[in-house]
Structure 1
Amino acid sequence: MITDMKYAPVGMFRNYTREMSVFIWASMINSTGAALMWPLTTIFVHQVLNRSLAEAGFVIMMQMLGNVLGQFAGGSLYYKFGVRKLLIGALAVTAVFQASLVVTAYSSWWGYIVTMFVIGFTGNLSQPAIQSFIGFRWADRRDELFNVVYVANNIGVALGTALSGILADISFNLTFILNASTSAAFAVFFYYFLQHIKEETAPAKPNATPSVKGARRAQLDDMPDKGAIPHLTIVDQLRNVRLYLFLSVGSMMIWMANSLWGSGVAPHITDQGMEMKMYSWLWTLNGILIFVGQPITSWMKRTIAQPVTSQLTWSAVFYSLAYVVILLFPSYSGFIVAMMIATLGEMLVSPAVPAFLAARAGRNAPFYMGLAGGISSIGRMIGPVALGVAYDSGGLQAVMRVSVVIAIVATVSFMLHAYLQKSKLRAEKNQYYDNYS
């Protein structure tokens, strides 16, 4: 399995065009910069600004609210402004507000909160555009590119998180400036990167029809890439619930339940007298597994989870199993095993959502990527609060019982999504054969 370099951890970064490789490396550098600040928000608010942990949680919640609204807006504005203006503009504004923290973070409490909200909003305004760009520009290889960009971004997060503590020991202002610098650099990168690239108005077909003889078969095979009718209103797009609703709800539940690591496992570790580095090591393990575990998920995608919808369902199953492990074995060894299982789920779900929408939503993919991203971000926003309340009322066991139930709901939601897509595809194929019979 690992002998094929295409699926080996290092081999996955090879065999790409220069254009693809530059994009992948730029994404990793940007994610490194983004990770310089967010792990330290709680520490900065509590230790530097002398605010309570509840107030630190409020700042994070406001930033997450900005994330949600930014995803929604980014998908809706994709065709209004175009990928070039949306990407460069969002990143440039983000850089300005990140740099402004050297003033606003100290001069005004509410000014700091508003700045963090805007950073969350503009920072995620560009996400649907980036995902749509990958899906439209490299339609024939979008699935593997969504995956390799996901892996590269996680490497960047690991590097940024590791550097953040070192830089914060020198100066928090240094982290703000470097964070802003990477956003500005990413904006400049896209300015030059997109200059000679024609903006796509619809995804290119991954497979051209080889001959007249194979035309019908090729057209049938390409049917999953046929998107929704162009120029639909927002209301019309929202009505297409079978495309996005259960996919989005499943993702929201996944990320809501996954908040247990910070709202359940982390306080449990400290309550048991263990050092916080024991918690950090769990995330180090997560980062390592995302890289070295690629052959496992690649094998699954080639065998038992070929359809993207199946990858989503398997991801929820892995998350459910991971939480059951912690529920039955609430020890550090149980946390390690659970993190390994949950990471497999993460490796399946994160690239699968944009890959599915790029394939099925056609020209309207940017809108649905923003919609799905926004809904899933709601889970990240309310998860820490909901599971924090559960921990206060019943400790780790209460958190895990709630998380298992939420993960099961996610599994059911993804299964319903897969059923709806299979039924729709079957109906489309029957209609196609009827038209040519």
Structure 2
Amino acid sequence: MTHKLFPHTTHFFDTMGHGAQNQIKEVHQMTNKEMSFRWLVTGALFSSIGMSFVWPLTSVYLHNRLGVSLTMIGVVLLFNSLASVLGSYLGGYLYDRKNPYHLLVGGVVASTITLIILVFFHGWPMFGIVLFFNGISAGWNLAVVNSIGTSIKSKDSRYVFNMLYFVQNLGIVVGTSLVGFIYSISVTLMFVVASVLFLIFLAIVITKYKPAANESRKKVSDTEKTSWNTKHLPKANATILTTFFLSLFIIWIMYQQWVSNLSVYMTGLGIPLRNYSFLWTINAGLIVVSQIIINWIARYHENLIMQIFFGFSMFAVSFITLIFAKTYPMFVLAMVILTIGEATALPTIPALVNVLTPIEAKGRYQGLIQSYASAGRAIGPLFGGMIIELSSFTALFVIATIAVLLVLTTTAVMWKALHGSLTRYRT
């Protein structure tokens, strides 16, 4: 083919020395060098461990050490989540238009600065103010890292997002297992360790993430990226993506009941708080094991949408179990079911969104995934608290079950109606 279309090309290379040919080959390889998947997940791991030194003890620290009211703590956490929504959207949006390497360096620098500030100034209200800006940078970094994951072509996209989800949860396991011990020694030391972890993350990004700029910048011109808008996305794709985003929003509202309100319910039944905390150890450990199993199954069978349907079904079953749970083993069973649903559905959605979006907009839609999830996390505790005050915990679990079943039904109906019209893009 080359000989017919470009007859002089062969002669040109024939007349070149082998050294010059090798130089051109090396330049071509450098230009098209892909971001190392190993370093992508390593960076995500350090980021996850670092953030696990901040968010788990925020409520305890503000209330027990600084004497901040629970209402004000709720406001702080709400604004932290809203900041994460903003950061996720901006990070994903700018990924499609700017150099991903520079975006991530800037985001990690911002996170590191907020953590270093907390080393010296962690009183009230400074802690709450810094936590807001930390939320922006955290959402930004997560969206950019996930967007960079879309540029990995040497691995299946489902494997990429499963592994990113895996290391992020592994980081939570490591971080939360250490943070309580370090917190009991010194609050300052807790922020020092978090700062050091992010300095390591920054060093990894600076030295290993430069190829991330190549993949998204070479294939599409800056003019195309800037002029691209949502009108260019096929209607079927836009509709199903909106369905996924709204589904994530509702799923996370309900999931947050486990994080925020279930501890009150369990302790009210006479179950020790340490037993509630152990549920999250089970959750994190099962996610790690589940991702290994899911990645093994993915070698032989791949059906992203069925994986999402199965995960949503498990979410519903977990809330059904909570309706009848009165003893600790029942709560353990509900957590196991919830974790299976989480590990199956949540990392699969970014992989399927990646398939349904063009390269000009991958960052935008990966950012929207994080934004809708963060919005659900922000509203979840308030929603649950209102239902409990107006009715009961049982009513909350019934509403959560119905909401998740509606999400499952709506997603299934929309997929059946639209999947034949969907445009799938090269990943």
Same fold (TM over 0.5): yes
Q: Cα distance, 1:117 vs. partner?
A: 1.0
Equivalent pairs counted in the alignment come to 385
Return the match for 1:388 from 385, 388, 395. Answer: 385
1:98 alignment partner, SS class: helix
Deviations 1:260-284 (CA, angstroms, capped at 9, x unpaired): 2133321011112221111011111
1:149 and 1:75 map into 2 onto residues whose CA distance is: 16
2:424 and 2:334 map into 1 onto residues whose CA distance is: 40
Instruction: Please name the residue that 1:138 is paired with.
Output: 153
Return the match for 1:254 from 251, 256, 271. Answer: 251
Would you say 1:318 and 2:348 are equivalent positions? no
Would you say 1:51 and 2:46 are equivalent positions? no
Instruction: Please name the residue that 1:194 is paired with.
Output: 209
Instruction: Please name the residue that 2:28 is paired with.
Output: none
Would you say 1:407 and 2:407 are equivalent positions? no
Aligned positions of 1:110-259 closer than 5 A: 111-138=126-153, 140-195=155-210, 198-201=213-216, 231-234=226-229, 236=231, 241-259=238-256
Instruction: Say whether the 8 Å CA contact 2:96–2:364 is kept in structure 1.
Output: no
Deviations 1:263-310 (CA, angstroms, capped at 9, x unpaired): 33210111122211110111111112112234654576578x832222
Q: Name the aligned partner's letter for residue 91 of structure 1.
A: V
Instruction: Please name the residue that 2:118 is paired with.
Output: 101
User: Percent same amino acid at aligned positions?
Assistant: 23
Would you say 1:357 and 2:353 are equivalent positions? yes
Given the superposition, is the C-alpha separation of residues 245 and 24 from structure 1 closer, same or farther in structure 2, using an over 3 Å criterion?
Answer: same
| Structure 2 length-normalised TM | 0.83
Q: Cα distance, 1:411 vs. partner?
A: 1.0
The range that moved more, 294-303 or 370-379, is 294-303
Instruction: Please name the residue that 1:216 is paired with.
Output: none
Instruction: Say whether the 8 Å CA contact 2:158–2:351 is kept in structure 1.
Output: yes
Given the superposition, is the C-alpha separation of residues 177 and 260 from structure 1 closer, same or farther in structure 2, using an over 3 Å criterion?
Answer: same
Would you say 1:77 and 2:77 are equivalent positions? no
Would you say 1:309 and 2:324 are equivalent positions? no
Aligned positions of 1:284-303 closer than 5 A: 284-294=281-291, 297-298=294-295
Deviations 1:191-243 (CA, angstroms, capped at 9, x unpaired): 11123565222798xxxxxxxxxxxxxxxxxxxxxxxx855544536876324
1:280 and 1:428 map into 2 onto residues whose CA distance is: 42
Instruction: Say whether the 8 Å CA contact 1:27–1:153 is kept in structure 2.
Output: yes
| Structure 1 length-normalised TM | 0.81
Deviations 1:236-267 (CA, angstroms, capped at 9, x unpaired): 36876324200101111111111121333210
Instruction: Please name the residue that 2:20 is paired with.
Output: none
Q: Cα distance, 1:428 vs. partner?
A: 8.5
Instruction: Say whether the 8 Å CA contact 1:95–1:184 is kept in structure 2.
Output: yes
The range that moved more, 385-394 or 336-345, is 385-394
Instruction: Please name the residue that 2:31 is paired with.
Output: none
Given the superposition, is the C-alpha separation of residues 197 and 338 from structure 1 closer, same or farther in structure 2, using an over 3 Å criterion?
Answer: closer
Q: What do you get for the CA RMSD once the two structures are aligned?
A: 2.6
Instruction: Please name the residue that 1:343 is paired with.
Output: 339
Instruction: Say whether the 8 Å CA contact 1:167–1:175 is kept in structure 2.
Output: yes
Q: Cα distance, 1:80 vs. partner?
A: 3.1
Would you say 1:60 and 2:77 are equivalent positions? yes
1:162 and 1:199 map into 2 onto residues whose CA distance is: 38
Q: Name the aligned partner's letter for residue 280 of structure 1.
A: S
Instruction: Say whether the 8 Å CA contact 2:355–2:424 is kept in structure 1.
Output: no
Instruction: Say whether the 8 Å CA contact 2:99–2:213 is kept in structure 1.
Output: no
Q: Cα distance, 1:395 vs. partner?
A: 3.2
1:384 and 1:371 map into 2 onto residues whose CA distance is: 21
Would you say 1:423 and 2:420 are equivalent positions? yes
Q: Cα distance, 1:165 vs. partner?
A: 0.7
Instruction: Say whether the 8 Å CA contact 1:136–1:203 is kept in structure 2.
Output: no
2:418 and 2:264 map into 1 onto residues whose CA distance is: 41
Return the match for 1:41 from 27, 38, 58. Answer: 58
1:230 and 1:356 map into 2 onto residues whose CA distance is: 21
Aligned positions of 1:18-29 closer than 5 A: 19-29=36-46
Instruction: Say whether the 8 Å CA contact 2:39–2:204 is kept in structure 1.
Output: no
Instruction: Say whether the 8 Å CA contact 2:92–2:366 is kept in structure 1.
Output: yes
Q: Which runs of 5+ in 1 are unaligned?
A: 1-16, 205-228, 430-437
2:146 and 2:263 map into 1 onto residues whose CA distance is: 32
Given the superposition, is the C-alpha separation of residues 422 and 337 from structure 1 closer, same or farther in structure 2, using an over 3 Å criterion?
Answer: same
Instruction: Say whether the 8 Å CA contact 2:163–2:291 is kept in structure 1.
Output: no
The range that moved more, 165-174 or 23-32, is 23-32
Instruction: Please name the residue that 1:220 is paired with.
Output: none
2:271 alignment partner, SS class: coil
1:420 and 1:177 map into 2 onto residues whose CA distance is: 53
Given the superposition, is the C-alpha separation of residues 139 and 287 from structure 1 closer, same or farther in structure 2, using an over 3 Å criterion?
Answer: same
1:82 and 1:230 map into 2 onto residues whose CA distance is: 12
Look at both structures and tell me which one has the larger radius of gyration over its CA atoms: 2
1:262 and 1:132 map into 2 onto residues whose CA distance is: 27
1:286 and 1:335 map into 2 onto residues whose CA distance is: 12
